[in-house]
Amino acid sequence: MYFKTDTEDLVAFLDPITKVTEEANILVTEDGLECSVENQTKKIYGKFRIDHSKFREWKPTKDILGFNVSTMKKFLKNHKTGVLTFSRDGNRIKAVVDDEARSTLMLPLFDIQEPENKVKLGSPIKSNLAVLDSPKTQDKPKVEVKKI
């Protein structure tokens, strides 16, 4: 698994995820990256996606990557205009940003466990905090918030 993108695109994907949780499982598919998260109280659920067309290079292998998304976001925010190369290196994620200088972040992957009880979602929550699929947010990852 390997991809290259502008750091700001991945920050836009990680930002709403980090508002819900610090650690997340990112699903790598042929179509892009996906992440479903819920907060510790299980009252907020979010599903986030970034399409593969946002990447300069996209060489996916179907995988689930569990890592600290808050640490990754902080690293990327320090390199707002750089190009990120993201790959899996054994049991770690390797993120290399090329901008004025080259910076590397190695994050350990954590074991991924399936939840014992699957949560059945109810009707969507309407909120004035986020507008989905509006012209101003077309290029940003889609956010779906549902009531549990």
Tokens for 56, please give them: 């300069």
pLDDT band at 42 (very low <50, low <70, confident <90, very high): confident
User: What percent of the chain has pLDDT above 90?
Assistant: 56
Mean pLDDT for 20-32 is 93
Residue 87 reports pLDDT greater than 80: yes
How many other CB atoms sit within 10 Å of the CB of residue 135?
7
Mean pLDDT for 6-32 is 92
The residue that leads in pLDDT, 15 or 134, is 15
∠ at Cα 93 (50, 12), nearest 5°?
30
- Condensed to tens digits (0 to 9), the pLDDT of residues 88-137 reads 989 999 999 998 889 999 999 987 655 444 444 555 544 444 444 444 44
Residues 6+ apart with CB under 8 A from 87: 1, 2, 3, 93, 94
Count of all residues that appear for the chain in the document? 148
pLDDT band at 40 (very low <50, low <70, confident <90, very high): confident
Mean pLDDT for 52-61 is 93
The pLDDT score that the predictor gives to residue 142 is: 57
Q: Where are the alpha helices (DSSP H) in 28-138?
A: 69-77
Whole-model pTM above 0.85? no
The pLDDT score that the predictor gives to residue 111 is: 78
User: With contact defined as beta carbons under 8 Å apart, do 29 and 10 qualify?
Assistant: no
